[in-house]
Structure 1
Amino acid sequence: MTFTRALTAAARPVIMEVKRRDASGTDLMGARTVAEVVAAYEEAGAPCISVVTGRWFGGSEDLLRQVAARTGLPLLRKDFVTSRRQLARTRELGASAVLLTVKVLPADVLARLVDHALELGLTPFVEVADAAEAAAVPRADACVVAVNNKDIATRERLPGDLERSAALLPVVRGTGARCAVSASGITDPLDAARLLDTGFEGLLVGTGLLRVSHPKRWCAAVDRARAGRRQAGRP
């Protein structure tokens, strides 16, 4: 199953992330092994898993390799991918989707990378942070378009602005994107429920899940919050 199909078919479309450190350098794994984190995510019903290979967060290609060896779920590689060679390497390591960040890629380079990713069978997971970036996504209907609620200019060290996602969703829809994701800064199950009910096809949650003892309980809280919103007639 493709990354996009797995996400959009999920009853609870939360992409659960594996990363070693948060933006401040704090260890997120503790005494847990990669295998234990992956097993907890599978138990929680993750449709897809994101793996941060970027050095800001203590990542490496080996981390992606370890996760791929322990799960059959579709994997997203999160890093600053800027070349066709990195795309090929991403596929070799077992990922089925790849992060492409509009802010760091010239328009012509982004277009070529989106095309090549699709040729390789990789889903382009294109990250945007404002309306101009959203409008610049090429072939948006074939991509996952993800609104980053944090700023890479500050290495994502500041709190996320979840209202950015709410504000940009109509713009993302206007690009023709069929899979919109709200990413980063999501820690409260109530916020997760609200974003999903707003119309996002998925969420990407990393630090928020790695800081809880039981991801399955966090996910159950999201489900309860969504049920409560429906009962209250809230969109």
Structure 2
Amino acid sequence: MPPHPEPDLTELQRNLGHEFSDPSLLRRALAHRSWCAEVGGEESNERLEFLGDAVLGWVIAELAFRQHTDLAEGKLTDLRKSVVNASALAEVAVEIGIGPCLLLGKGESAAGGRSKPSILSDAFEAVLGAVYLDGGAEAAATMVERLFAQRMASAALRLDRLDYKTVLQELTARRFDTAPVYVISDSGPDHEKRFFATVIVAGQTVGKGEGRSKKLAEQAAAEQAWLELSQPVAH
């Protein structure tokens, strides 16, 4: 067996949804610096990683802007961060099979480099950079949208669930020119304490909630209040 066997990239290209006109770009995107140091005369994937990082940021920002028109700038930023981070990118890399195709030095391979989140996430960005160079902006955007649209939708739902206090405050400021007031109580022993929250807007109780912490109780109360106040006003 040769010291550095070449991987078969057919399945990876299928998973990417892009067949390379110049397969050497994909090969370079998978070349870790540890492998390049051992074989000599090969360029690592670091420059492609730089390019792919920029492409990913642009495509995700545009997707977030187009698909989530209800989110304010701060939430768009949170949404982007939730899907563009080393852990999330490593998950995508595993799903499309980048790990087995990596060109790693013997030491890095023996140390489990094919499953290291940092190596996988960097390689994913490099592969995206290679797709961009090989197929252009449309090919890169299509690949990102296919791999990330559902993740972004799920992340947006989580953001909404976790932030009812903010959306309630925005709603009450807009409709009543006031902020919600939270009244907290608790019961039970310290190790099993339950918290209860009542949210009051313009002197009226509009929501109640409970939870294992003050924060959870307030969020539950804010959710109930937001659902109540966001209903159309009957005429």
Common fold: TM-score over 0.5:
no
TM-score by length of 2: 0.22
Larger Rg: 2
- Higher strand proportion: 1
